[in-house]
C-alpha cells in the first residue's frame, strides 16, 4: 500500500526549523508505487538524505531530481540482498552503475549491522568484490558519507 508522505510535511518542517537534518526512509521496494513515493518525497519533503532510494535507479528523471536537489542516498547493499529488495549481485551492480552514470549522490550504510550481521567495511568489500564500485568510487562514496553526516566528526569545542 502506498504511503502518503504529504501527511508529514509539517513534522519535517518543524525538524528543519529546529536545525535538524532530515532523512526519510523510502524507495527500497514497492515497484511502481515505491517509485511514486520516492518522487513525492523528493518533490514535497526535500530531505537531506534518503534511506535506501534504490528504486530511483529505474527512473532517469528521478535520478536527475535527486542530483539537482543534492539529496544523498544511503544505500545498504547487504540489507537490500537479504530482504530481496535487490535480487542478486548483478542487480546491486546495475543500481550502482545507474547512480554513478547519473551522478546521483550516495553513500554506503549498513541498515542495522547487528540485524544484518554486517559492518561498513563488509559493505565496501562486497561492492568492490562484485565490481559495483571501483576503489576510487568507493572512496568517493565514503567521503560523501562524511560530508552528509548531520554531526561533525570533530569533538565539540567548549565555550569560553
17, 28, 89, 114: the catalytic one is 28
For CA atoms 117, 119, 121, 123, the dihedral sign is positive
89 is catalytic: no
Q: Is 71 exposed, middle or buried (0-12, 13-18, 19+ CB in 10 A)?
A: buried
CA distance 95 to 71: 16
- Residues acting as catalytic residues: 28
Amino acid at each position: 500500500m502506498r504511503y502518503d508522505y504529504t501527511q508529514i510535511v509539517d513534522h519535517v518542517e518543524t525538524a528543519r526549523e529546529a536545525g535538524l537534518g532530515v532523512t526519510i526512509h523510502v524507495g527500497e521496494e514497492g515497484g511502481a508505487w515505491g517509485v511514486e513515493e520516492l518522487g513525492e518525497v523528493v518533490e514535497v519533503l526535500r530531505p537531506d538524505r534518503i534511506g535506501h532510494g534504490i528504486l530511483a535507479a529505474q527512473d532517469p528523471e528521478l535520478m536527475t531530481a535527486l542530483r539537482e536537489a543534492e539529496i544523498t542516498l544511503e544505500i545498504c547493499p547487504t540489507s537490500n540482498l537479504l530482504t530481496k529488495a535487490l535480487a542478486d549481485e548483478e542487480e546491486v551492480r546495475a543500481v550502482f552503475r545507474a547512480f554513478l552514470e547519473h551522478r546521483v549522490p550516495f553513500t554506503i550504510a549498513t541498515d542495522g549491522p547487528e540485524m544484518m550481521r554486517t559492518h561498513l567495511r563488509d559493505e565496501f568489500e562486497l561492492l568492490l568484490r562484485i565490481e559495483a564500485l571501483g576503489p576510487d568510487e568507493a572512496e568517493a562514496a565514503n567521503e560523501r558519507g562524511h560530508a552528509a553526516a548531520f554531526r561533525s566528526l570533530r569533538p565539540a569545542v567548549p565555550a569560553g
